Chain A
């Protein structure tokens, strides 16, 4: 099993602040990385994917990838209470298998 690591949190930020979520992975074979949001009792929903070094922005979300450091992050700008959820980092191996981190619980306080 490939290893994807995340800080379990909880990470608490005030409404309107920037939330920064981090993830490291241990296998250099991984080429694609994903951030999923999961509400309690629900399936994960895709937020963003990234596979090139650098930043990728989509609305309030920015994913960052540093392959040399084997590090992936997700920034959420203008955090809203509705962003409160568990965020899962995932790495795609062999072009078809996802391996997930343990997830970071985000709590955005009004």
Chain B
């Protein structure tokens, strides 16, 4: 089946540095990808919608200058957490729609970010 590959799976960074997370669609093209964040024991919160070749659409309350999204090709979207702080520590997950129908959405394996 269609797979969304997400890297890295875990990252630990120092406060003030930037971290890039990649989300790749394997064997299919994804014009739209979605980025979610999940805090411990909380649900997934949609952060932004990544559109190939155009600017991402951010959900209310998400800082676009802090969470930079680039969707330069039909198979790759990246999320960069800039000037990371401990409160940015979370589980970040990307998702893409594979095709039509309700089963057409697939999630990446997630990235556990820890900012120390």
Contact = CB atoms under 8 A, between A and B. Distances in A.
B50 to A, nearest CB: 11
Contacts, number: 49
Interface string A19-60: 000000000000010100000011111100101000000000
Interface residues of B, number: 23
Contacts of A102: 42-43
A98 B105 CA distance: 10
**Interface SS, B side:** strand
B67 interface: no
Contacts of B46: 1, 97-99
A51 B103 CA distance: 12
A88 B105 CA distance: 15
Interface size class of A (residues with CB under 8 A): 20 to 34
B102 A49 contact: yes
Given A97-B49, A98-B34, A43 B43 contact: no
B32 A96 contact: yes
Given A43-B107, A43-B109, A32 B102 contact: yes
B59 A46 contact: no
Contacts of B42: 102
A103 B43 contact: yes
A43 B108 CA distance: 7
Contacts of A101: 43
A41 B91 CA distance: 8
